[in-house]
Amino acid sequence: MKSIISTLLALFSFTAMFAQTGTLTGKVSSGSNNEVITGVAIFNAAKKISLISDVEGRFSIRLAPGTYELTFSMTGYKTKTISEIVIVAGQTNELNVILADQKKELDEVVVTATPARRESASAVLSLQKNNTSVSDGISSESIKKSPDRNVGEVLKRVTGTSVQDDKYVIVRGLNDRYNVATINGAVMPSTEPDRRTFSFDIVPSDMIDNVLINKTATPDMPGEFSGGIVQVTTKDIPFKNAFGLALSTSYNSISTGKDFNIGHRGDLDYLGFDDGTRTFPSSFPSTNRWRSFDINQKIQASRLMYNTYGDQVSKALPSLNGQINFAKKFNGKNGASFGMLGAVTYRNSQTIQLTDRQQYGDATSTTNLLFDYADTSYSFNTSLGALLNVGYKKGKNKLVLKNLFNRVFENSNTIREGANFNDLQYINKNRISIAMIKTIFSSQLEGEHALGKNNNKLKWNLNFAFTKKDQPDYRSQPYQKSLSQVNDKSIPYTVALRNTYRFWSELDENTLGGKVDYSKPLKWGNTTSSLKAGVLAQYKIRNFSARAFRYEQANPSSFNTALLSLSPGRVFNDANMYTNGFYLNEITNNTDRYDANSLLTGSYLMFDNKFNEKWRLIWGVRAETFNYEVKTGNVSGTRTVINKDYLDILPSLNLIYSFNNKSNLRFSASRTVSRPDFREVANFSYFDFVRAAIIRGNGALERSQNTNIDLRFETYPQSGEIISASVFFKHFSKPIEQRMSGESSLEYQVITFFNPDNAYAYGIELDLRKKLSMFGDGKFLENTTFSANTSLIKSSVDLSAASNPYDLKRPMQGQSPYLVNLSLTYADDKGNWSSTVLFNRIGQRIETVGAFGIPDVYENGRSVLDFQLSKKVLKKKGEIKVNLANLLNSRQIFYNNVESKKENRGYKSQDDRVQWSNLFGSSWGIGFSYNF
């Protein structure tokens, strides 16, 4: 009994002791190149404090409440003493320290007395100013002050960046295929296997250490980009224990509470899984066996399919978002620490989108319609995400295992109604239903080590990623009758069997990679220099297969025509699969599957030379080899192997002139590449019923070689502020674009990929982020920050009349001529209030390049206005957030620029013709989070 009491008393005393102390944490970096410094001695003789910065330059210590003065000392750097370090019981104070280089070994040690609050501000400025390349980013400190829930929302705040569909990043107005995403240094596979992009909304903002977008290249970066490299770094070993919950909901003006016809909903849709009703039956015969069946066997097999047709109407519920996150740190012996952090996220939304669609019978007419449809699209989306990082750190070594999982379940049902003048038919409630299940899992094991007395750095990373995309039971069920009979109610609408399409596909992709980076300081005369070298390899393998079907008459001579006018849920019942009824005929082609693999290897050598306080040169070369093999089919029934090998030598140079400790002039020149994806070269034809177009790969596609030149002036008046101006030029040799093929017609479009000979883009980029205190004194002005950035871009593609373009002088596909981001943020730390108004507009861009006689399809610029308000409550442990999104509710318009020879290709309602337009509605949301 006494032992139990003693244990409880000891535990109570231990807990009480920790409750009565505060924590000081931080990182020590070099003021010349932002490199972290390992082995810095941190001490306070009066208080008997003594510790050493670890392999990441980090330190952490528990102290009794009070005000401290600490000294930071390291051979080769000027010693710095920082005062006014305030420790509060139960709180963590973060102090990031910058040490200046000691120019000569015999220099006198300089002791600088610096208040802690000023040192923290200087550290942020130094990180911004000393980046090796032209870049913009946002730190964890800024993320904490924002109401953003995921990286997709965070990126809206970065200069020259816009976010499409709340998750896809556009840098400098360039098509998203020219951007690359990395998480913790590893290149991430696309979350959209049919699109070159990464969905950044899958990463919770609470788990982010920083987000940086590099717009110019250095040799240690991946060579496959031209717009930007979005580098997301997640947290690993936390400074303190934490546990938090967050819950939010939102109302949409055209969706919530309205009739919601999803067509078919499974029992597990809310959990992000199919309940088996959409799954392709395992007992269904293979394609070859099916082709050997007689009609009776095919009828029997048709009954194996689950009938997912019909209407399922409910009321659209508000969207729901939930998140649980935690962090746990364990302190071991001799300065060792072990920690883990994780998050689980859940999102569900039920939205309605209203779309008008038109197609025209010639290139310029605005009255000669082929069809005129009104679509109502119902979307039911569920997303599940999880992140778990586990790390161990001791002295000069660190090991971390980082894992990311996301599963997105998308179920949509488009109800189409309108006139098809080409076929002289009126379409009545054509149901186009699409389910998509996308899964991504990424795991990385990384190590960081400081070697030798000079603390040379060795970093390595082993990574694995699995991507899966299932499209189960994509189906179409059109009802129609002659235009001349529309008003005759005695004649029913009947199913048009030729368009009763059912489609299943599966895509699996595995990526295995690894890289090693080594860096060491160099002494070249009076210069402060460093050498960095590394190698990497990435192997990727993909398997894709699809099966396609269509309902047909089992026996046309004795077919029961009354079946065609049955209700949508009854027409394809099992009972109607018989001799005088229907059967499901397989129409799978030899091109409906492909297998692919690729191997990327890279190596680089990079030097960082700082000649004096003014001049710094980062230069080197990167070499990448890339091989891919795609085994696909062709219409003749034989298999085709597409094999390409590339060797790319990619030099880069970044020259920085520092006017003072706040202002830089940067010049950058680099060579980069953009490579085709498997889907873009595979001879697979996908019919998009919503758009009524075929999307097909092109086996002759080549990689694009890009030359990039940038000049930028930047100044950082104080922490969190920037004024910058950039000019840039980009040349693309054989850029990759999406266009309509020569076999397309106005009523039958085939969209494929091709390489124009050359293209270029040039422009200017302006950025201003400044506190309003420049206009005077006062609490409001001091706490309010105005941000404005804009990019003005001119691009052109080198075309000839022989290539059959519609517009010989058009800009690059996907390239916007301008991009504008504006924001006004008020943050009152004492009053615990913050609010942000965000405005974004991106200029018109070509969505699909046309062909001879078929105009290009442009997406019009659209203005988006968002508002966010947050208030800390419950002793700052809780936070209430109110979000108003898409307040202007502008239509998204896709149009033909019928006067394309004019310099201004922007949308003109009186001249141009709309192909389709979407209305999304405005949203109002409220959320609450609490950190225990």
The Cα–Cα gap between 848 and 844 comes to 12
Q: Is the pLDDT of residue 158 over 80?
A: no
**Residue 162: which pLDDT band, with cuts at 50, 70 and 90?**
low
Point out the least confidently predicted range of 219-228, 351-360, 438-447, 919-928.
219-228
Between 519 and 107, name the one with better pLDDT.
519
Which of 257-261, 693-697, 723-727, 886-890 has the largest mean confidence? 257-261
Instruction: Please tell me the predicted confidence (pLDDT) of residue 588.
Output: 92
Position 86: which residue type? V
Taking only the tens place, the pLDDT of each residue in 884-915 is 989 999 999 999 887 655 567 888 888 888 99
Pure H helices in 489-604: none
Nearest residue to 448 via CA among 399, 483, 519, 486: 399
**Residue 13: which pLDDT band, with cuts at 50, 70 and 90?**
very low
Q: Is the pLDDT reported for residue 608 higher than 70?
A: yes
pLDDT digits (tens, 9 = 90+) for 306-322: 999 999 999 999 999 99
What angle (nearest 5°) sits at the alpha carbon of residue 396, between those of residues 392 and 400? 25
User: Alpha-carbon distance 393 to 56, whole Å?
Assistant: 9
Question: Using an 8 Å Cβ cutoff, are 137 and 210 in contact?
Answer: yes
Q: What span, in angstroms and rounded, lies between the C-alpha atoms of 43 and 59? A: 12
What are 258's two structure tokens?
């309205």
pLDDT bucket at 803, cuts 50 / 70 / 90: low
Q: Pick the residue with more confidence: 345 or 122?
A: 345
| φ and ψ at residue 222, rounded to 5 degrees | -55, 140
> Which pair of structure tokens corresponds to residue 505?
């596909």
Is 741:695 a contact under the CB 8 Å cutoff? no
Is the dihedral angle over the CA atoms 716, 717, 722, 727 positive or is it negative? negative
Query: Minimum mean pLDDT among 56-70, 202-216, 677-691, 699-713: which range?
Result: 202-216
Section 105-128 average pLDDT: 54
CB of 851 within 8 A of CB of 864? no
Helix/strand/coil for 227: coil
**Given this model, what pLDDT does residue 546 score?**
94
Per cent of the chain over pLDDT 90 is 48
Residue 10 has pLDDT above 50, yes or no: no
Under the banding of pLDDT at 50, 70 and 90, the label for residue 230 is confident
DSSP string, 200-214: GGGSBGGGEEEEEEE
Q: Tell the residue number behind the tokens 């052109």, with chain if given.
A: 796
User: All domains of the chain, ordered by start, with CATH?
Assistant: 19-130 (2.60.40.1120), 251-931 (2.40.170.20)
* Distance separating alpha carbons of residues 32 and 77, to the nearest angstrom: 11
Cα–Cα distance, 280 to 551 (Å, whole number): 16
* C-alpha to C-alpha distance for 815 and 817, rounded to whole angstroms: 7
Instruction: State the Cα–Cα distance between residues 380 and 351, nearest whole angstrom.
Output: 7
Mean per-residue pLDDT for 342-363? 92
The b-or-e profile of 614-652 (16+ CB within 10 A means b, else e) is eebbbbbebbbebebbbbbbeeeeeebebebeeebebeb
Task: Specify whether the backbone of 334 is left (phi greater than 0), alpha (psi in -120 to 50) or beta.
Answer: left
Residues paired with 482 in a beta bridge: 425
SS3 78: coil
pLDDT tens string 781-799: 888 989 898 889 999 998 7
What does the pLDDT read at residue 32? 72
- pLDDT the model gives residue 9: 44
444 pLDDT more than 80: yes
CA-nearest of 871, 854, 840 to 748 is 854
pLDDT digits (tens, 9 = 90+) for 15-70: 444 457 788 888 888 877 778 888 888 888 766 778 888 888 888 888 888 888 88
**Closest C-alpha among 73, 70, 106 to residue 86:** 70
How far apart CA 169 and CA 181 sit, in angstroms, is 9
Q: 529-584 pLDDT, tens per residue?
A: 889 999 999 999 999 999 999 999 999 999 999 999 999 999 999 999 999 999 99
